[in-house]
Amino acid sequence: MLNEIRKWLIGPPLPTQSASRERLDKIRALAALSPDALASVAYANQEIFLGLVVAGAAGLAYSWTIALAIAGLLVIVALSYSQVISAYPSGGGSYSVARENLGANFGLVAAAGLTMSYVLNVAVSLTAGVAAIASAFPFLWSHRVALSLLLLLVMTVANLRGLRESGTVMAIPIYLFVAVYLIMIGVGAYVALTQGPGSIRATTLVATEEVALFLILHTFAAGCTALTGVEAISNGVTIFKPPEVRNANQTMAAMTIIMGVLFLGTIGLTQYLAVVADAQETILSALARRTFGPGAVYLFIQSSTLLVLVVAANTSYVGFPRLASLVAQDGYMPRQLTFLGDRLVFSNGIILLAGLAGFLIVIFNGDTHMLIPLFAVGAFLAFTMSQAGMVARWLRVHGPGWRIKTIMNGLGMLATTVALLIIGVSRFVEGAWIVIFLIPLLVLTFRMVHHHYEDTRAQLTLRGLPPSLAPLPEPRVVLPISGVHRGVIEALRYARAISKHVTAVFIEIEPGSGDLICKRWKEWGLEHDIQLEIISSPYRSVVGPFLNFLDKTDREHNDGQLASVLLPEFVPARWWHSLLHNQTAMVIKLALTYRRQKMGKIRAIIDMPMHLRK
């Protein structure tokens, strides 16, 4: 029945051979790879507004300056990544680039940063999307956690079914979003030209003229979340139609330009028109209302914002499971993450991502603003690792124009490092500390996992073993019995078939019950073939005396093997029947499986499950 539900939910399994990889043209590749980057405008804008609004009109006047700084950073990062595209046409994620050029440890730091970044992208995008729609429908505001989790669930199921990022369906929300925002900027510019600059009503704001440097850096750090997702195109060069590198670079350029226009356009308009938002509204929602009034057009803009943020969250569902499977293949994450599920997607990675993002949404109460300080650290750490890796690469490989390339990636590295420091320091107390604490922990965990796999491999290797199967002596079989019944007889027949040395053991709990068993043993004529041992257990425990008997018999025989234990067990027909039986066989099995044997010998445990018919 569980299987049926699964099939209904995620569809019938697909054969491995049907996995294929479609190449995309630039239009569709842009839609596939840019949602995360483009949708960042939605929350980065909001963060800049929230960062500055505490300082009133004087504070908000810095919006444009900060936006320009971030746009400049965007251009530097984009140029750096276009070099990654050229150098790694087979797809150069930060993990691969750092690992190849800086060594495994730096690769793991990048992987840890990316993991954080992917998880937070889901949490931030979904909560920001819900905030966009709750800005239009205020009664939804108090249900933000539930709505975010609902979206998360729907996306998880869709991705477990094998939703493809290349689908044309996915392209619609992106281009819709770009189109409506460009129109809004255009109309807004017209409004601005015809009506002139707005002024901020002092009543709603704390008026303070002293805007400290800290405030600006702090807001810049928050705004840096606009850059998250920029690396996606360099990871996905392989999905472009040939010539891949050229197409990818052109798409990167297009994306950078669109991002720049959306970001600077909306911030510029917000500042010029002096738009301000309430606590239960986003600044982009306020801008849209200011531009179009609270009508159908406004609602359409909010809906398209929600949609693009959902698609942006979805890029993590594509990126994280792939990263995890890559890291797991190298033995740094649990191997289960490399398995293709029924629908040819890395199901375990999808479930892990959803679990972590859901956890964040719940503990941060679905509040984007609380999640943001955690977000940029991971992303910028991965940027820095990637750029540093590229610098190391150019210094090692040289090749044509390596000096200029080194300078460009070096500039990228420098810029992202500075941004990373600003983010880490200025947002430390607000939550960045969590990520700064978690990343080394994650790297340590990766290393421990790797260590365990190495240990296991060393213990399982055949090196040093004789090249053929040395014969083992005939096993001695020991059979704990609770009485003389059909299951025991079947077990005895099996024991006799595999060995001539069979001993049945009865643990006598009730004084006198052993004699009864002896009597029945003789009645059935079993005493000729099989030795029966009666062991009295004055403390009424079954498992302890049985294990002691095993140790004793192994010691006495001293034939280089451990006795095999044959467990006659019956399996009830209904689940609740299990409550009516002792499960002694199960307890013995567990005790034998987890008890470490001396000298690394293996004790075979033979289970004979007899199924009751009713």
Q: Which value, to the nearest 10 degrees, does the dihedral of the CA atoms of residues 251, 257, 259, 264 take? A: 180
Interface pick for its own copies out of 241, 396, 398, 496 (rule CB under 8 A) = 496
Q: By C-alpha distance, which of 273, 202, 205, 199 is closest to 54?
A: 205
* Shorter beta-carbon distance to its own copies: residue 246 or 577: 577
Interface pick for its own copies out of 497, 555, 556, 558 (rule CB under 8 A) = 497
Binding flag, residue 511, its own copies (CB under 8 A) = yes
* Least spacing, CB of residue 538 vs its own copies, in Å: 4
The answer to whether residues 501 and 474 touch, using CB atoms and an 8 Å cutoff, is yes
Interface pick for its own copies out of 86, 417, 499, 513 (rule CB under 8 A) = 499
* Shorter beta-carbon distance to its own copies: residue 382 or 502: 502
* Least spacing, CB of residue 487 vs its own copies, in Å: 6
Q: How far is CA 72 from the centre of its chain?
A: 31
* Shorter beta-carbon distance to its own copies: residue 419 or 566: 566
Q: How far is CA 233 from CA 279, 321, 486, 520, in A?
A: 35, 17, 67, 78
Q: How far is CA 333 from CA 34, 120, 338, 439, 449, in A?
A: 27, 19, 9, 14, 6
* Least spacing, CB of residue 144 vs its own copies, in Å: 33
Q: By C-alpha distance, which of 35, 49, 40 is closest to 267?
A: 49
The answer to whether residues 85 and 237 touch, using CB atoms and an 8 Å cutoff, is yes
* Shorter beta-carbon distance to its own copies: residue 396 or 500: 500
Q: Which residue has the tokens 């303070």?
A: 208
**What is the CB neighbour count within 10 angstroms for residue 347?**
21
**Helices (H), strands (E): how many in the chain?**
22, 5
Distance CA 536, CA 545 (A): 8
Residues numbered 460-489 forming contacts with its own copies, rule: CB under 8 A: 460-462, 465, 467-475, 484-487, 489
Interface pick for its own copies out of 1, 2, 5, 16 (rule CB under 8 A) = 16
Q: Which stretch binds its own copies (CB under 8 A): 89-97, 174-182, 283-291, 330-338?
A: 330-338
Q: Rounded to 5 degrees, what are φ and ψ at 505? A: -125, 125
Residues numbered 566-585 forming contacts with its own copies, rule: CB under 8 A: 569-572, 577, 579-582
Interface pick for its own copies out of 22, 25, 278, 490 (rule CB under 8 A) = 490
Residues numbered 530-559 forming contacts with its own copies, rule: CB under 8 A: 530, 538-541
* Shorter beta-carbon distance to its own copies: residue 250 or 499: 499
* Least spacing, CB of residue 460 vs its own copies, in Å: 4
Residues numbered 172-201 forming contacts with its own copies, rule: CB under 8 A: none
Residues numbered 338-377 forming contacts with its own copies, rule: CB under 8 A: 339-342
Q: By C-alpha distance, which of 275, 35, 48 is closest to 175?
A: 35
Residue 502: what residue type? V
Q: How far is CA 15 from the centre of its chain?
A: 25
Residues numbered 407-466 forming contacts with its own copies, rule: CB under 8 A: 449, 452-453, 455-456, 459-462, 465
* Shorter beta-carbon distance to its own copies: residue 437 or 524: 524
